[in-house]
């Protein structure tokens, strides 16, 4: 069974909207800030077991239904890296960005040599 923060956040948002709750209303029910819940729904932050249980109870659904990735969920490589990039400071982000650019140049050189 695979678990993914993006899937969990997507499921929480879908359930919240289905029940016509605002982020503010749900965040009050589970005792977190609306901004934190927004980060969870976008897949940037995870939840403690306690908060995950509170959400499942508020929605009257299983925890597994919030976490489990199904075949219909398309998880891309970008979904996996997004939460990692979110927490970088400017210097770290610039460093990684430059490394990617330089790697792409190197791969182009290697590719030309192989042809």
User: Rounded to an integer, what distance in angstroms lies between the CA atom of residue 23 and that of residue 8?
Assistant: 15
Contacts of 16 (CB under 8 A, 6+ apart): 22, 23, 26, 41, 59
Range ranked top by mean pLDDT from 4-13, 63-72, 104-113 = 4-13
Residue 49: both structure tokens together: 């077991």
Q: For 34-55, how does the pLDDT look when each residue is reduced to its tens digit (9 = 90+)? A: 999 999 999 889 899 999 999 9
Region(s) of the chain under CATH 1.10.260.40 = 5-67
Global pTM? Answer: 0.63
Q: For 82-98, how does the pLDDT look when each residue is reduced to its tens digit (9 = 90+)? A: 777 777 888 988 898 89
The fourth-level CATH superfamily of domain 5-67 is: lambda repressor-like DNA-binding domains (1.10.260.40)
């Amino acid at each position: 069974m695979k678990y993914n923060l993006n899937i969990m956040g997507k499921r929480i948002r879908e359930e919240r909207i289905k029940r016509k709750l605002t982020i503010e209303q749900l965040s009050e029910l589970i005792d977190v800030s609306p901004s934190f819940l927004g980060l969870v729904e976008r897949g940037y932050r995870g939840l403690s077991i306690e908060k995950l249980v509170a959400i499942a109870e508020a929605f009257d659904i299983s925890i597994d239904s919030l976490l489990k990735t199904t075949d219909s969920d398309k998880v891309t490589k970008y979904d996996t890296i997004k939460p990692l990039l979110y927490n970088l400071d400017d210097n770290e982000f610039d460093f990684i960005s430059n490394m990617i650019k330089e790697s792409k140049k190197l791969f182009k050189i290697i590719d030309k040599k192989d042809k």
